[in-house]
Amino acid sequence: MTAREKILEVLDAIRPAIQADGGDVELLAYREADGVVEVRLLGACESCPISMMTLREGIERRLRSTVPGIVEVTAL
């Protein structure tokens, strides 16, 4: 399984919790050279004041612990 496929698998596992709050997350890119994952937060996540906490404590933490080589997750 490629790193991109693993990332998508993790996002699919997280997605129901995000969607329950009216949001969603979309993978835009994985820059393997520097270990950066770029995502777009959608729906309620776009204007949510704690979306960056969701990004860091939820999405980034889970991806870093599951997919070797990920250094950071950024939201565009």
Q: What pLDDT is attached to residue 31?
A: 96
pLDDT digits (tens, 9 = 90+) for 42-55: 998 888 888 888 88
Report the percent of the chain where pLDDT is more than 90.
75
Q: What pLDDT is attached to residue 48?
A: 82
Domain count of the fold of the chain: 1
Distance, CA of 44 to CA of 4 (rounded, Å): 25
Q: What pLDDT is attached to residue 51?
A: 86
In the predicted structure, residue 57 carries a pLDDT above the cut 90: no
pLDDT digits (tens, 9 = 90+) for 5-45: 999 999 999 999 999 989 999 999 999 999 999 999 999 88
For the chain, the three-class secondary structure string (H helix, E strand, C coil) is CCHHHHHHHHHHHHHHHHHHCCEEEEEEEEECCCCEEEEEEEEHHHCCCCHHHHHHHHHHHHHHHHCCCCCEEEEC
- Domain of residue 31, residue span: 3-75
pTM: 0.91
Identify the CATH number of the domain in which residue 40 sits.
3.30.300.130
